[in-house]
Amino acid sequence: MAPRPRRRRHKKPRSSVASMVETPVPLTLSKPGPSIDALGFHSLETNVPGLSQLILQKLNMKSYEEYKLVIDGGTPVSDFGFRCPQEMFQKMEDTFRFCAYCKALPSGLSDSKVLRHCKRCRNVYYCGPECQRSDWPAHRRVCQELRLVAVDRLMEWLLVTGDFVLPSGHWLWPTEIVQGWDTWFSMRRLQLDATLDAVLGSHAMTTLWASVGRPRPDPDVLKGSLKRLLTDALSRPLTLGLGLRALGINVKKTGGSTIHVVGASHVETFLTRPGDYDELGYMFPGHLGFRVIMVGVDVAAGFSQSTSVSPLEPGTVQLSGHRGLYHNFWEEQVQTGQTAHPDLVVAFHPGFHASPDLMEAWLPTLLLLRDYEIPTLITVYSQQELAASLQILADLDTHLTAYGANPFTSLKPEQVYSNPNKQPVYCSAYYIMFLGSCCQLGQGHLEEKVDGGV
Q: Which of 360, 358, 355, 367 is nearest to 330 (CA)?
A: 367
Q: What is the pLDDT along the chain (454 residues), one digit of tens a residue?
A: 333 333 344 433 332 222 222 323 333 333 344 565 666 666 666 777 777 777 777 777 777 667 666 666 556 555 556 677 788 888 888 888 899 999 999 888 887 788 999 999 999 999 999 999 999 999 999 999 999 999 999 999 999 899 999 988 999 999 999 999 999 999 999 999 999 999 999 999 999 999 998 899 999 999 999 999 999 999 999 999 999 999 999 999 998 999 999 999 878 887 788 789 999 999 999 999 999 999 998 887 767 555 344 678 899 999 998 888 999 999 998 998 888 899 999 999 999 998 888 898 899 999 999 999 999 999 999 999 999 999 999 999 999 999 999 999 999 999 887 788 999 999 999 999 999 998 544 444 444 444 444 3
Contacts 24+ apart (CB under 8 A), 71-78: 71/37, 71/266, 71/270, 71/298, 71/300, 72/266, 72/298, 72/300, 72/301, 72/302, 73/270, 73/300, 73/301, 73/302, 73/303, 74/301, 74/302
The C-alpha atoms of residue 52 and residue 171 are separated, in whole angstroms, by: 44
Whole-model pTM? 0.82
Q: Is residue 364 a contact partner of residue 10, using CB atoms and an 8 Å limit?
A: no
The C-alpha atoms of residue 403 and residue 452 are separated, in whole angstroms, by: 13
The C-alpha atoms of residue 404 and residue 427 are separated, in whole angstroms, by: 14
Where are any strands of DSSP class E within 334-418? 344-348, 376-380, 398-405
What is the fold of 15-36+232-451?
Rossmann fold (3.40.50)
User: Residues, the chain, total?
Assistant: 454
Every domain of the chain and the residues it spans: 15-36+232-451, 38-152
What would you measure as the largest C-alpha separation in the chain, in angstroms? 73
Burial 299-325 (b: 16+ CB within 10 A, else e): bbbebeebeeebbbeebbbbbbbbbbb
Q: Which of 319, 226, 223 is nearest to 273 (CA)?
A: 319
The C-alpha atoms of residue 211 and residue 274 are separated, in whole angstroms, by: 29
* pLDDT computed for residue 52 by the predictor: 75
Q: Where are the alpha helices (DSSP H) in 43-167?
A: 44-47, 51-58, 64-71, 85-94, 129-139, 143-155, 157-161
Q: Is residue 409 a contact partner of residue 232, using CB atoms and an 8 Å limit?
A: no
Strands 290-296 and 257-262: parallel
* pLDDT computed for residue 5 by the predictor: 37
Q: Which of 100, 91, 102 is nearest to 122 (CA)?
A: 100
Q: Is 439 exposed, middle or buried (0-12, 13-18, 19+ CB in 10 A)?
A: exposed
Where are any strands of DSSP class E within 225-370? 257-262, 290-296, 317-323, 344-348
In degrees, to the nearest 5, what angle opens at C-alpha 319 toward C-alphas 14 and 59?
Answer: 130
* pLDDT computed for residue 141 by the predictor: 95
> Residue 401 phi/psi, 5° resolution?
-95, -30
The C-alpha atoms of residue 84 and residue 200 are separated, in whole angstroms, by: 22
* CA neighbours closer than 13 Å in the CB half-sphere of residue 333: 25
* pLDDT computed for residue 37 by the predictor: 61
The C-alpha atoms of residue 403 and residue 409 are separated, in whole angstroms, by: 13
